[in-house]
Amino acid sequence: MDITERQPAAATATSRTAVILREPFRARTWRRTAYVVLALPVGLLCIPIALVGGPAARIQRGLARRLLGVEVGEAGAGGVGAPGMRGRALALAHAVISAPLNLVAVTVTLYFWMVVAINLGFPLRPDNDPAQSWDGPTMAGAWAVHAGGGGLTFLFLTPWVVKGFTGLQVRLASGFLGADRSGLLRTTGIAAGVALVCALLSVPVIHQF
């Protein structure tokens, strides 16, 4: 391979690294985080709204549009979709079926951001005892290990975890609330699998508290 072939590869690697380093500081990352946080309470609220024939689907589509900039095509537009009772049933199904995914999404997201905060802010923690911490007994050493090992690692990892959750949440919303339901069964299965795996992995974490 000559130098002209190596340069594009190096440029691509540099570009990818830059994207990873910038992602925690982009507004879209925090909009996605806001969506994850709000999806659970809004979704649960939409269950009774859908039961009484209220605008549950419109509320869910509006949340995706405002925070993620995603337009979920309205069911029934152009003669396609699910108007009337069927549309309300789909809105109810979406609110119920998405609840487990929304729960694990907000739990994992808030836990990961908490890991960032408590590790980068290690000197501010009331329980910080450098003598009993990794790479103590000095505060500088303990802080370096916590900030590097937990804080920075999760700082650059969490935006991509959040992006994955919101991508799956939008696919569920598009399938149930939009006009195109192709692949909805597969998406529902993936969402259920992700929720189950995250729930199982959370057990040892919960036991630490």
How far CA 153 is from CA of 108, 117, 159, in Å, comes to: 15, 12, 11
pLDDT score recorded for residue 183: 87
Note the pLDDT tens digit of each residue in 87-115: 889 999 999 999 999 999 999 999 999 98
* Interhelix angle 153-177/184-206, nearest 10 degrees: 140
| 128: Cβ contacts below 8 Å, ≥ 6 apart | 122, 139, 142
Note the pLDDT tens digit of each residue in 136-182: 566 666 666 767 777 888 999 999 999 999 999 999 999 999 877 88
Q: Is the pLDDT confidence value at 6 over 50?
A: yes
The pLDDT of 187-191, averaged and rounded, is 94
| Global pTM value | 0.82
The pLDDT of 62-90, averaged and rounded, is 75
